[in-house]
Amino acid sequence: MHVDTLLHRFGDKIKGVLEGFDRFVFKGRLLPLCRAAGMAGYLYHQGVLNKDYKDWALNTSTAIVRDAEEYALSQRGSGVEYLSSCHIRKEALAHEQQTKSGVTSGLIGTYSCLESCSTFKAVYDKAAGFPQIRPTPSRCKHLYFYYDHEDYGFMSVRLQTWAPYEVQIAMNGREWLRRSLDKEGIPYILEGNKFLDIADYEAAQRLLNSQLNTRWVETLSGFMPAVFPSMPELLGEMSYTWTLWQSEWARDYIFHDPKVLSEQMKHMLRHAFITGTSDRVLRYMGHPVQKNGQPHWAADPELISRVALWHDGARIRHWVDKNSLKLYNEQNVLRFEFTMNNPSRFHIHRTVESSGSDAKKFLPMRKGIADINVRTQICSARINNLTEQMATLDENISVEELISKVTQPIISDGKRYRGLDVTGKDLPLLRAIADPKYIVDAITNKHLQGIFSGAVWANGLEGRKLSGRISRHLRLLRIHGVIKKLPNQHRYMLTAKGRLLTTALNQMLGVHLSDLSKIAA
């Protein structure tokens, strides 16, 4: 069981902690229609000639929009509102409409606009002698349905009105919790999607945890009869396959006093910049960076070192391979949030799809709903990495004591291993593994080869020889307890000891002589 060092550090300054889903977005696809061959087969069984595809598609889209118009009129007394630009923020519009209309439950509004999509068209094939169905990028009408649902709170459903009729359902775990608290009669103070106070934090956490027990297929498919009522008539027995396209998993530390939190954020920001070289700061700010640390050619090469202001607080963000980990404060809430867009970066033990076997292998995580629970565990573990890193800021252990623990030789399995030279030949490696991106991702030999290729530390080695040198040093770091190997993987994470050591080195090497003089005085 994970011990929350940051919670222990702040002690009675915190009145409660909440951890669970923030925003999460599902996508539904009709797999038989996702490929041109499947679409052509469907048209054949419907008796629709390929040459008549466009007329059929237009008629089908018109029917879907007409159904949406009738549904909106029956629920709210007003039809579908057409938006002239896809850049209009529909969520803000829905919130505004909810405030004006006073809707507390049910459909808030329905909107439509032209947006980019992947669809099909009939293209004449000279070899075949008749038109063939081909995939094509295009623009078509999309429908947006916004609800304040009695169970899930504020949410939306987006429907593409041209084949293959993709659906996107966006929900919010904190909104879901709001509705659950209302049903339980538990008082709370809410602003946006952050709870500033809750009368019973243990009960609130249990309600958040219960969201993971949802029967997702039934829940998500349950919205389709309302937004796509003609689906059975048009598509027969087809059903949607659902994936969790994007998720945000958040842990909130709710402080008694916003001023205390604001003061703590100053130390966290200083720590972030001491550990940040120019390329790392660029990553914090969301700018593209090449492997050599230089800005992408299409970016403005001027670097302005600053942390983004975030409402009444500040924000620090680390991102790697479309996944990001950030922390920010707003009023009395300190939030750590992991956004996962690319779950395949993480490997898990699971069965092989369509294998017919129950045997599990170590494979990339999928976006499918079958991996939701393990996905949340990985998100929580990454948040633990950052909270533990922040908890080292006020560690009372002296730098001398910390360094002495790793500079002495160690006997392991009858073999003697040298101590680390933390300010000499081992310093480049220690600074490399202290990169904040490894809070999001794991340390690998391959990553380190990219860092040290051509560097002085590599001693002119390349390829397998450089890989061997890195492997020997990683083993040394493991022996000293600085890093740990992930189960069944050639990937590593910093240990608590390693976080303390790298933090101490970054703080020590980042401080100015003028600051030391002030401390001595």
Nearest to 153 by CA among 190, 122, 121: 190
Q: How far apart are CA 42 and CA 133, in angstroms?
A: 11
What letter would DSSP give residue 105?
Answer: S
How far is CA 244 from its chain centroid?
11
Cα 37 to Cα 295: distance, rounded to the nearest angstrom:
43
In this structure, is the dihedral angle defined by the CA atoms of residues 242, 382, 17 and 146, taken in order, positive or negative? negative
pLDDT digits (tens, 9 = 90+) for 280-326: 544 444 455 565 555 555 554 443 333 344 445 667 777 778 898 88
Which residue type sits at 412?
S
What's the CA gap between 166 and 142, in Å, rounded? 10
Instruction: Name the stretches of the chain with pLDDT < 50.
Output: 276-278, 281-286, 300-311, 513, 516, 519-521
Rounded to an integer, what distance in angstroms lies between the CA atom of residue 477 and that of residue 420? 8
245-277: pLDDT as tens digits: 999 999 999 999 999 998 888 777 766 555 544
- Eight-state DSSP code of residue 500: H
Alpha carbons 95 and 101: distance in angstroms, whole number: 10
pLDDT digits (tens, 9 = 90+) for 391-428: 776 566 677 777 888 889 999 888 999 999 988 899 89
Q: Count other C-beta atoms under 10 Å from residue 317's C-beta.
A: 21
CA-nearest of 151, 52, 146 to 94 is: 146
pLDDT, position 192: 87
**Three-class SS of 376-409:** HHHHHHHHHHHHHHHHHHHCCCCHHHHHHHHHCC
Query: Measuring CA to CA, which residue among 276, 105, 322, 80 is closest to residue 93?
Result: 80
Tell me what pLDDT residue 307 has.
38
**How far is it, in rounded angstroms, from Cα 66 to Cα 72?**
10
